Structure 1
Amino acid sequence: MSSLTWSERGKTCVRAHRLAAIVRKEFIQIRRDPPSLVISLVMPVLMLLLFGYAVTTDVNNISLAVLDQDHQQPGRELVSRLEQTGYFQPVCYVEDFAELEGMLDGGKAKAALIIPGGYAKGIRRGEQSQVQFLVDGSDPLVARTALSAAEITGKVYSQEMVIKQVKAAGGQVPEGPGVDMRTRAYYNPGLESLKFNVPGLIGLVLQNITIMLTAFALVRERERGTLEQLMVTPVQGAELMVGKLIPYIIIAFADVALVLAVGTWWFDVPIRGNIFLLLGLAFLFLVFALGVGIMFSTVAKTQLQAMQMAMMFILPSVLLSGFIFPRESMPDVIRYLGYLIPLTYFLEILRGIMLKGVGLAFLWKDIIPLTVFGLGVVALASKRFRKQIE
C-alpha cells in the first residue's frame, strides 16, 4: 500500500481539527445548560434504583385484621401460622365485625380472619371447624397472594392436626378434623385487574396531561416571544396566569369525564361512591398538577427541558404511588418516599370511592396531605411566575 501524500495528510489533519472543534462546541453547549446536564446524569441512576427496588411482583407484609370470637389456643395457633408464612404483617385484633369491616373500608387491613366461637371445641372433638378469611379484592395482585397463602396454610395446618388425631386415636383416622377455610374477596369478587387499573389510570392521566400541557404551553410561549408581548399589555400577572390555565383545567376535566365514561361503560368498573365527591377531589388534585406545570415552566428554558422535568416527575409517580406495584412490598425507604407523591393519596381516594364506595369518614387522611401539597406547590409556582413577568 502506498503511503499518503502530503496533500492527503493535510486534508486529514483539517478534518480532525474540524471534528475536534465541533466536539468542543458541544461540550461548551452542554456546560451552558446545567439543568439538562443534571437530568441526563441523574435520571439513569434514578431509573436503576427505582426499577431495582420498586418493580416487583412479590407481595408480602399484607396487613391482617383478626376477629377472634373463641379466644382459645387453637385460634391463636392458626393466626401464628399465618404470620409465619411471611405474607401477613402486621396482625391487628379487633373486637367486632363492624370494626373489622371499617379496617377493610379504610384500607388499614388488606385481609381479615374471623374465628367463630366454638372453634377450639370442634377441633378437640375431631370435627371440621370453619373459619372465614376475607380479602380486599380492589388490588387483585395482593388479593390473589393473600387467598393462596391462606388456603395453603389452612390445608397444611389441617394435615398436621389429622396426624395428631391419628396418633391420639391409636392409629385410627377420625372422620375429618381440621380447618375449613372459607374465603371471600370484598369490593372486587372476580379479582379483575381492570377494576384495579382503571381508577389508577384516571389519576395518572389527570396528572400527566395537566402537567405536560401547562409546562409545554408556557415554555412554547416564551420560545416564540409571545409571552413577552403579553407582558407589555395592560393585563395583570394574575390575570395572565389564570387566563392561560383555565383552558387546561377544562381539558383535564374532559379527560376525567372521558376516562370515567369508558371505565364505567366499556370496562364495567363501578362507581359505588358519591360521583360529586369524586369530581370535587379530582379538582383538588388538579390544583396540585397545575402548580407543578407552572413550576416546570418557570424553570425550563426550552420545551425539551420541560419534557425531561415532566418525565422525571411522572416516572416516580408511576412506580412509587401504588399505581401498578403494591407499596407494601417495597423497602421502607422507598415506601416512605411514596408519601411525598400526591398521586399516592389520590389513587387511594379514587379506588376508595369507585370500588369501595367510602366517603369522607375514611378518605380524610388522604385529603389532608393532598390539600397541603396542592396549596404549597401552587403558592410557590405562582410566586416564581409573578417574578418572571414583573
Structure 2
Amino acid sequence: MSIRLTAWTALRVLNQLRHDRRTIGLILVVPSVLLTLLRFVFDNRPDIFDQIGLLLLGIFPFVSMFLITSVAMLRERASGTLERLLSMPLHKLDLLLGYGIAFAAVAVVQATVAATVAYRLLGLETQGKIAVVLMIVVSTAILGSSTGLFTSAFARTEFQALQFAPSVIIPQLLLCGLFWPREEMAGPLQAASNVVPLRYAAEALGEVGTYPLPTTLLWRDLAVILTFGITLLALGAITLRRRSQ
C-alpha cells in the first residue's frame, strides 16, 4: 500500500465527479428534495417527520453512494481503465481506499447539505446535536460506498450492477426498523436484522433523536457500521477483477 497512490486515486475520482453534473445533482440535490417532499406529506404531523426524516438522513447517503460507486467501478473495469491502473505500482487496496476516501469527502458535503435543509428549512428537531447526526450519516455513506465497491465485482455490465440494488437495499430497509419496530417483528426477522448493517445506522440515529448526549449504544452501533464498511472494502479488494469479461 502507498499513501501517495491512495491520495492520487482519491483526487482522480473527485476530479471525475466534478465534471459529472448529473451525479452531483443526484448526490446533493435529490436527498434534500425527497426530504422536502416527506415534510409536506406529514405536514400536520411534524412528530412523524422528526422520526422518519432523521432515519432517512442516514438511508439516502447509503443508497446514493451504493449506486454511484458500484456503477463507477464497473465502468472503470469495462473501459479497461482499471486494468491499466493495476498494471502500474497500484495495489487493489490503494484503489479501493482511494475510492472510499473520495466518496467519504463527497458524503461530508452531501450530509451537510441535507442536514442543513432538514434542520434549518424543514424544521427537523432532535434531542441530540446535529454534529453527531452528521458523524453517523457520513459513516453510513462510507458503508454504502464499500458495499457498492464490493458488489460491483460480481457484475459484468452497469445494468447488472444496478440490479444488485433491490436485493441489497430493500431487505435492509424492511429490516432496519424504518417501517416497523424491530421488537415487534417475527423472531427470524429480528435475528436476520442483526446482520443487516443499515439496522445499526437506524438505531444510532434513533438514539440521537431520543437522547441529548451520545449513548453507549450509539457508539457501539457506529463501531459496527465502520466494521462492516472496512470488512466489505477488504473483501472488495480480494474479489476485484481487472476488467469485465
Superposed pair shares fold, TM > 0.5: yes
- Out of 141, 152, 165, which is 1:310 matched to? 165
Structure 1 CA distance for aligned equivalents of residues 232 and 101 of structure 2: 17
Q: Tell me the residue number matched to 1:247.
A: 102
Q: Which amino acid aligns with 2:167?
A: M
Structure 1 residues 336 and 292 mapped into 2: Cα distance closer, same or farther (>3 Å)?
A: same
Of the two structures, which has the highest relative contact order with CA contacts closer than 8 Å and spacing of 6 or more?
2
User: Which ranges of 4 or more aligned residues in structure 1 deviate by more than 6 Å?
Assistant: none
Structure 2 CA distance for aligned equivalents of residues 320 and 340 of structure 1: 10
Structure 2 CA distance for aligned equivalents of residues 325 and 309 of structure 1: 24
Percentage of matched positions with identical amino acids: 25
1:259 aligns with 2:118: no
Q: Tell me the residue number matched to 1:224.
A: 79
Q: Tell me the residue number matched to 2:131.
A: 276
Structure 2 CA distance for aligned equivalents of residues 197 and 206 of structure 1: 15
Q: Tell me the residue number matched to 2:235.
A: 380
Q: Which amino acid aligns with 2:122?
A: F
1:50-129 mapped onto 2 (5 Å cutoff):
none
Can you list the C-alpha shifts for 1:206-240, whole angstroms capped at 9, x where unaligned?
11011111110010122222222222334443333
1:183-198 mapped onto 2 (5 Å cutoff):
192-198=47-53
Structure 1 residues 362 and 330 mapped into 2: Cα distance closer, same or farther (>3 Å)?
A: closer
Can you list the C-alpha shifts for 1:294-351, whole angstroms capped at 9, x where unaligned?
1111111111111111221110111111112222332111122112111111112112
Q: Tell me the residue number matched to 1:118.
A: none
Q: Which amino acid aligns with 1:266?
A: L
Query: What is the aligned length?
Result: 199
Structure 1 CA distance for aligned equivalents of residues 127 and 164 of structure 2: 36
Q: Which amino acid aligns with 2:170?
A: L
Match of 2:177, SS state, is coil
Larger strand fraction of residues = 1
Q: Tell me the residue number matched to 1:287.
A: 142
Can you list the C-alpha shifts for 1:223-280, whole angstroms capped at 9, x where unaligned?
2222222223344433333333433222222221122112112221124324433333
Structure 1 residues 198 and 389 mapped into 2: Cα distance closer, same or farther (>3 Å)?
A: same
CA contact (8 A) 2:57 2:137 kept: no
Pick which of 334-343 and 193-202 moved more: 334-343
Where structure 1 has 5 or more consecutive residues not aligned to the other structure, the ranges are 1-189
Larger helix fraction of residues = 2
CA contact (8 A) 2:204 2:217 kept: no
Q: Which structure has the larger Rg?
A: 1
TM normalised by structure 1 equals 0.47
CA contact (8 A) 2:67 2:162 kept: yes
Can you list the C-alpha shifts for 1:130-168, whole angstroms capped at 9, x where unaligned?
xxxxxxxxxxxxxxxxxxxxxxxxxxxxxxxxxxxxxxx
1:344 aligns with 2:211: no
CA contact (8 A) 2:50 2:126 kept: no
Q: Which amino acid aligns with 2:117?
A: V
Structure 2 CA distance for aligned equivalents of residues 237 and 261 of structure 1: 36
Can you list the C-alpha shifts for 1:146-203, whole angstroms capped at 9, x where unaligned?
xxxxxxxxxxxxxxxxxxxxxxxxxxxxxxxxxxxxxxxxxxxx77211111111111
Structure 1 residues 356 and 245 mapped into 2: Cα distance closer, same or farther (>3 Å)?
A: same
Structure 1 CA distance for aligned equivalents of residues 172 and 162 of structure 2: 15
Structure 2 CA distance for aligned equivalents of residues 266 and 253 of structure 1: 19
CA contact (8 A) 1:270 1:355 kept: no
CA contact (8 A) 1:320 1:344 kept: yes
Query: Cα offset for 1:365?
Result: 4.1
1:10-49 mapped onto 2 (5 Å cutoff):
none
Pick which of 247-256 and 297-306 moved more: 247-256
Structure 2 CA distance for aligned equivalents of residues 322 and 335 of structure 1: 10
Structure 2 CA distance for aligned equivalents of residues 287 and 191 of structure 1: 29
Structure 1 residues 324 and 267 mapped into 2: Cα distance closer, same or farther (>3 Å)?
A: farther
CA contact (8 A) 2:62 2:142 kept: no
CA contact (8 A) 1:205 1:255 kept: no
Question: For the aligned residues, what is the CA RMSD?
Answer: 2.4
1:358 aligns with 2:213: yes
